[in-house]
Amino acid sequence: MFVHAVDQPHIPPLECPARFRTEIVYFMTPPGVRGAPADLADGEYWIDAADARRWLDEQVVYVVSPLDAENQAEIELTEYHEAFLEWLLAGNVRRVRLA
């Protein structure tokens, strides 16, 4: 599976394991929030740069459980999560598509 930079098409795609397809939601900024476009196509995601930098610095991403919206869980970054965040930041990528 590859992650493509929609907003930076000159950046080569990043290869990730197939399971990243279900994990990318940990990193996405919801449409219409903090600059994320409200009109994202199916399979496209927007990742806020400040969030990406913070997750990389802290080596964790925070997720909210659908069963307990008042508490967040920390998920430690894997090597491919780190590679994804570094790829985003190095290429100034915000809008991505999985293929």
Mean pLDDT of 48-61: 96
- Is 81 a residue whose pLDDT tops 80? yes
- Is 69 a residue whose pLDDT tops 90? no
What pLDDT is recorded for position 66?
67
Q: What pTM does this model have?
A: 0.91
What pLDDT is recorded for position 73?
85
pLDDT averaged over every residue in the chain: 93
Backbone angles phi, psi at 43, to 5 degrees: 85, 5
- Is 95 a residue whose pLDDT tops 70? yes
CA max distance for the chain: 41
CA atoms within 13 A on the CB side of 20: 25
